[in-house]
A and B are shown apart, each in its own frame.
Chain A
């Protein structure tokens, strides 16, 4: 019981730490998505998905999803909560420890074709968010630069140039 209280407190802290814009969006699902993100890309910094560039990137992508796609993902996220609740302890996915969350995701991927299908859409969202963020660049050693010189003027004024 004491452990559950502690985990719940952590979950509240996690939600509280999230930018106000997220809270204002009222997206409970997003908090489950964040917890899942920590399972899909478990960063060595436990706070990576709580705040910072990766979480910001995920929020931005989540907010810009088409409604139909977001609804499909929300269905999968609800499955996580539902599965977590089957233990009889009133658990939610967020309230589980990271290893428990990972075990639950594995279990669902094995058992549910519907979840596996949704996961294949969730995974890119999370993976791209993390590895497009500064944190992801740091973890992989990635960096890049580009510059553009530009077309000469006679091309820019050519017929059919947009």
Chain B
């Protein structure tokens, strides 16, 4: 197959791939970015919510946790809530400081400039009043107004002596760089039709297009190719008509997610890599992590209208690094979220009742608020993504098979978080408390290609360079050695920005 030559090929256009595509094309590189999912037009595709139903092809084992993932230009961020936390300094040193997890090969200080760069590019909104976060410069935009249940939650937290703070968001609190401020329509999960949510399709992708990047949606990468010396030489991909092509480059950057990267690496065999790429440590596909997640409903005495606003509101991180006499490692973030959709969705998906019970619950719909937990998940080698022995995709490649289970540690952490949330809401005036669904859901698949300095204990180095394949970089949520207890989008983007700068610097000598 004859194909074009590029300076870099980006595989996957989610949080990381979008940053790479913008940064490298902005430096004058000839960049090809391949995304298996579609390139949504917000106006046309987000009106009916059908845009989120693209099958991922991932096979989940019975009883396995099922992390969400979206294939699209912009990735899962197209439909995410916009929560934009930085990780804390301690997150990078959990083994050293807490005796659990794995230390990252980089520090918070190394990543901080890139956190800032992404926050500025995205127009992050927030305030540096969170006493648990490292000292930092002001956010480019002020925090969103405190609304709905957040007022009650903040009052309750203060009553108990906790430290509530506005949650940092990648949603504009005021007009910024040609985009409008949030209208608080609360349809972030359906895709932002306004343009204020700073997901990549609204920020990095338009900039990359302007720089001249070659963006190909609905193009699936089948294999990453290597030459006789074992070095990366390009990719083979399938276009939207199903026709196979080859693109050449000595630099391939894999940003396909913790769920899809492992099987692509395993099926990309070459003369020097008969067992697939990155196979030396035997850790590709291992240490899958998913935050300990959960959503809880609190019902307040007055109308809070939590069907509008932002899903972040106020957060509490008093138990981020653990709790006294805790029977679990590390900790969690609690924040006020939104009602899970309009009344029809809430009544259908979250309630099972019917008759008078259903009607009575729904009558307090606009007095309810949802709270979210993001708890640190301890990486375990037994939680994996591997090729499914039976199910194959249309090209005949094994589908990714996820096996993941929680342990006592995560369940104990979860119970503690529930108890804290309950106490805060009661102190804030909640007249009732009901738990509608628990733990086994998380939108943040992490790990499976972990980062580290030791090639025997990690897949990529501190820059995301694959230890045993020259020219191959992996840089997205899959490289996280530990999960921290915050939503990972900003950290994924900051890691990508850091590596992009490194590559540009390296090339320019």
Contacts and interface: CB of A to CB of B under 8 A. Distances in A.
A5 interface: no
A123 B358 CA distance: 11
Nearest to A125: B348
Interface string B326-359: 0000000000000000111111100000111011
Interface stretch (B50-58, B88-96, B361-369, B485-493): B361-369
Nearest to A137: B343
A26 interface: no
A160 B206 contact: no
B366 A139 contact: no
Contacts of B217: 160, 162
Interface in B292-314: 303, 305, 307-308
A110 interface: no
B469 interface: no
A142 B215 contact: no
A128 B186 CA distance: 19
B186 A41 contact: no
Interface stretch (A8-16, A69-77, A83-91, A146-154): A146-154
A140 B351 CA distance: 15
A151 to B, nearest CB: 7
Contact of A162 (B41, B180, B185, B194): B41
Contacts of B186: 144
Contacts of A43: 359
Interface string A87-127: 00000000000000010010000000000000000011001
Contacts of B354: 39-41, 105, 123, 127
B362 A140 contact: yes
Given A131-B343, A136-B343, A149-B195, A142 B183 contact: no
B342 A152 contact: no
B370 to A, nearest CB: 15
Interface size on A, as a range, is: 35 or more
Contacts of A41: 354, 358-359
A139 B180 contact: no
B342 A160 contact: no
A149 B43 CA distance: 9
Interface size on B, as a range, is: 35 or more
A149 B303 contact: no
Interface in B42-98: 42-43
Contacts of B187: 144, 146
B305 A148 contact: no
Given A102-B355, A144-B186, A147-B183, A161 B39 contact: yes
Nearest to A39: B355
A107 B73 CA distance: 50
A108 to B, nearest CB: 12
B163 to A, nearest CB: 32
B194 A159 contact: no
A132 interface: yes
A19 interface: no
Given A43-B359, A148-B194, A128 B344 contact: yes
Interface in A35-79: 39-43
A158 interface: yes
Given A39-B355, A42-B355, A150-B43, A141 B303 contact: yes
A139 B362 CA distance: 8
A147 B184 CA distance: 11
Given A41-B359, A131-B344, A149-B179, A144 B366 contact: no
Contacts of B216: 159-160
Contacts of B344: 127-132, 136
A127 B178 CA distance: 41
Contacts of A129: 344
Given A131-B347, A149-B194, A155-B209, A160 B39 contact: yes
Contacts of B209: 154-155, 158
Nearest to A156: B41
B187 to A, nearest CB: 6
Contacts of B193: 146-148
B467 to A, nearest CB: 34
A104 B363 CA distance: 25
A149 B359 contact: no
Contacts of B348: 123-124, 127-128, 131
B214 interface: yes
A145 interface: yes
B363 A139 contact: yes
A102 B359 CA distance: 14
A140 B358 contact: no
Given A137-B343, A151-B206, A160-B39, A40 B358 contact: yes
Contact of A142 (B39, B205, B355, B365): B365
Nearest to B351: A127
Contacts of B205: 155
Given A41-B358, A124-B348, A160 B343 contact: no
B244 interface: no
A147 B194 contact: yes
Given A39-B354, A41-B358, A42-B355, A162 B365 contact: no
B214 A152 contact: no
Contacts of B347: 127-128, 130-131
B24 to A, nearest CB: 17
Contacts of A147: 183, 193-194
Nearest to B216: A160
A99 to B, nearest CB: 10
B215 A42 contact: no
Interface in B196-217: 205-206, 209-210, 214-217
Interface of B: 38-39, 41-43, 178-180, 183, 185-187, 193-195, 205-206, 209-210, 214-217, 303, 305, 307-308, 342-348, 354-356, 358-359, 362-363, 365-366
13 contacts: A40-B358, A127-B347, A127-B354, A128-B344, A128-B345, A139-B363, A141-B365, A144-B186, A144-B307, A149-B179, A151-B42, A160-B39, A161-B39
Given A142-B342, A152-B178, A155-B205, 5 more contacts: A39-B355, A131-B342, A132-B342, A136-B344, A154-B209
